[in-house]
Amino acid sequence: MSDTTAGLLQVALLIAALAACYRPLGAYMARTYTSEHDTRVERVLYKVMGVDPKADQRWPVYARSLLAFSAVSVLGLYALLRFQPHLPLSLGFPGVAPDQAFNTAASFVTNTNWQSYSGESTMGHLAQMAGLAVQNFVSAAVGMAVAVALIRGFIRSRTDQVGNFWVDLTRGCLRILLPLAVVAAITLIAAGAIQNFSSGTDATTLAGIHQTITGGPVASQEVIKEMGTNGGGFYNANSAHPFESPNPFSNLFEIFLILLIPVALTRTFGLMVKDKRQGYAILATMGALWATILAGIWTLEAAHPGTALKLAGASMEGKETRFGVAASSLFATATTGTSTGAVDSFHSSYTALGGGLTIFNMGLGELAPGGVGSGIYGILVMAIVTVFVAGLMVGRTPEYLHKKITSREIKLVSLYILTMPVLVLAGTGLAMTLSTAKASILNPGPHGLSEVLYAFMSATNNNGSAFAGLSVNTGFYNTALGVAMLAGRFIPIVFVLALAGSLARQRSVPATAGTLPTHRPLFVAMLYGVVIIVAGLTFFPALALGPLAEGL
């Protein structure tokens, strides 16, 4: 079977699996966030936390709760990493250096999972489980909570309350992420991924060299890192490591986990706003963007333009032979479109234009279909821009989901959209001017610029994947990228919650003959165009100096 045929079959199976889970999971999540009942375990947790689950919060209170929880999480994870050698199951590893501990704590709390270290030689089992894996759950639940708060802004009227952060966080973890993770972990173990508490196994390589291969609770962490669109890896080779992903089935299963919740959240959105067609329209836009990027990356990698690649007969450098070009392109599209740092190949070794498309995919704002929670609230922000543009065309006050889009909403949307590019381009520019930062570039020229641009794009978008080829375990990069992760995560979240509060205060307005239908193919096409144009106008100059220059 050819690589192309196998790839097409995998895409078909992936779409079929997502379609089968779309309705039940989307409906279940809608019930989870709209239910008036708390489970016994939840009531105990609320009592311990001193939370009144029936008390809704105004958006500033919701935002402060979220920021306080995240700040405590950063400090707690930082302390855990620094004091690792004094804790059980440390495997004899020393404490993580201060700048790297800050970077790692910021990374996992922001759902980024950027890693400037090799997991198998840096983190003990306790740090992996109680530190990193826990943040994989709660950071994903934070993203879903923000998305649900924004949806409530559309469906509520004449109120300043958008929900209860502690309730949304708890339900996201206990009712959605944890049950799915248990089932998925069992599946991954059955597929061959390891799950143990081994401190390491001695092995002799073909060259006669003795090597210790670290074991650990890999499958359980692998599942939530993919399903929570976290990323990162138990091992330095990430999802290309056979202990994390042993075969083509596990590779496809992990891609399915990456896309599962972001796709199903469009169904949740449609049900919560009581118009399933709105969810279908958002899903169609996400799907069109995803298909466009996949076709581009796959075509470029299969064609492997360039003298060296033509002589080699394929672009297999940096790719796992177990997966091939097609499955690697599929994984790369999924991971850069969903704020997932996991990789099963190294994007720096892609063709210049193929690697450029992975950067551009993140530059879209990771909306195809986006991270857990962040994807749906990100594309809803772009939907507001689209109806605003349409309103300008016909000279009418724009409306979306029975809410007028006023100057206040547009200001918040504009600030949301501008935050990411400012951080990415400013960080890249700073890194390219400092000699200490430029010393980390192993491949100077356009490719080196692409590596730096990818690093700041990945960090600011809370993606976490890396081009691989840039030495980032330095004081500058650990600090600068850590700041980019925190700012790229929480500044937009504050704007989204402010937008939710602004919309909730409005009264609902009935649709009229002049209202733009936002569930039809015309709106899907307009939304698709707005996303592409905004990202293109923002990042084309930087891409022209990096991957485009290298490719041409």
CA–CA separation, 460 and 517 (whole Å): 33
CA distance 243 to 193: 5
Section 461-472 average pLDDT: 87
Q: How much is the pLDDT for 62?
A: 97
**pLDDT score at 201:** 82
Share of the chain above pLDDT 90, in %: 74
pLDDT (mean) for 520-525: 95
SS3 content of the chain, % helix, strand, coil (to 5): 65, 5, 30
- Of residues 525 and 120, the one with the higher pLDDT is 525
Contact 520, 281 (CB under 8 A): yes
Q: Please, which pLDDT band fits residue 214 given cuts at 50, 70 and 90?
A: confident
pLDDT in tens, 226-259: 999 988 788 888 899 999 999 999 999 999 999 9
Mean pLDDT of 407-418: 96
pLDDT of residue 479: 96
Residue pointed to by tokens 């498309």: 357
Is 509 a residue whose pLDDT tops 70? Answer: yes
Q: How many domains does the chain have?
A: 1
Distance CA 211, CA 303 (A): 38
- 495: Cβ contacts below 8 Å, ≥ 6 apart: 412, 413, 415, 416, 419
How confident is residue 442, by pLDDT bands cut at 50, 70 and 90? confident
**pLDDT (0 to 100) of residue 306:** 64
The per-residue pLDDT for 204 is 81
- Which pTM was predicted? 0.94
Mean pLDDT of the region 334-360: 91
Assigned token pair, 152? 């409530």
- Overall average pLDDT of the 198-211 stretch: 81
Instruction: Look at phi and psi of residue 48 and say left if phi exceeds 0, alpha if psi is from -120 to 50, else beta.
Output: alpha
Instruction: Provide the 8-state DSSP code for 455.
Output: H
Q: Say which residue the tokens 């704002």 belong to.
A: 365
CB proximity list for 177: less than 8 A, separation 6 or greater:
137, 140, 141, 224, 227, 228
Can you give 190-221 as a three-state secondary structure string?
HHCCCCCCCCCEEEECCCCCEEEECCCCHHHH
From 532, 511, 490, select the one nearest 112 (Cα to Cα).
490
Q: Which residue reads 């399903």 in tokens?
A: 227
Between strands 201-204 and 210-213, the pairing is antiparallel
pLDDT, average across residues 183-196: 95
One-character DSSP codes across 114-141: --SS-GGGT--HHIIIIIIIHHHHHHHH
Query: Using 50, 70 and 90 to split pLDDT, how confident is the model at 95?
Result: very high
Report CA-CA distances (Å) from 125 to 71, 129, 215: 23, 6, 9
Contact 217, 117 (CB under 8 A): no
Length of the chain: 552
Q: Judging by beta carbons within 10 Å of its beta carbon (0-12, 13-18, 19+), is residue 395 exposed, middle or buried?
A: exposed
Residue 302 binned pLDDT confidence (cut-offs 50, 70, 90) = confident
Predicted confidence at residue 310, as pLDDT, reads 59
- Give the whole-angstrom CA distance, residue 551 versus residue 173: 44
Domain limits for position 428: 3-551
Least confident of 194-203, 278-287, 423-432, 538-547: 194-203
Name the band, by pLDDT with cuts 50, 70 and 90, for residue 305. low
Residue 312 has pLDDT above 60, yes or no: no
pLDDT surpasses 80 at 304:
no
Whole-number Å distance between alpha carbons of 57 and 54: 10
pLDDT at 208 over 90: no
pLDDT confidence band for 369 (50 / 70 / 90): very high
Q: How does the average pLDDT of the chain come out, rounded?
A: 92
Q: Which two tokens stand for residue 58?
A: 């105004």
Backbone angles phi, psi at 403, to 5 degrees: -125, 135
| pLDDT tens-digit readout, 32-75 | 999 999 999 999 999 999 999 999 999 999 999 999 999 999 99
Buried b (16+ CB within 10 A) or exposed e, 440-473: bbeeeebbbbbbbbbbbbbbbbbbbbbbbbbebe
Cβ pair 496, 381 in contact under 8 A? yes
Whether 147 has a pLDDT exceeding 90, the answer reads yes
Can you tell me the mean pLDDT for 187-191?
Answer: 96
Whether pLDDT at 404 is above 70? yes
Asked if residues 279 and 271 have their Cβ atoms less than 8 Å apart, the reply is yes
Dump pLDDT digits (tens) for 256-289: 999 999 999 999 999 999 999 999 999 999 999 9
Distance CA 489, CA 484 (A): 8
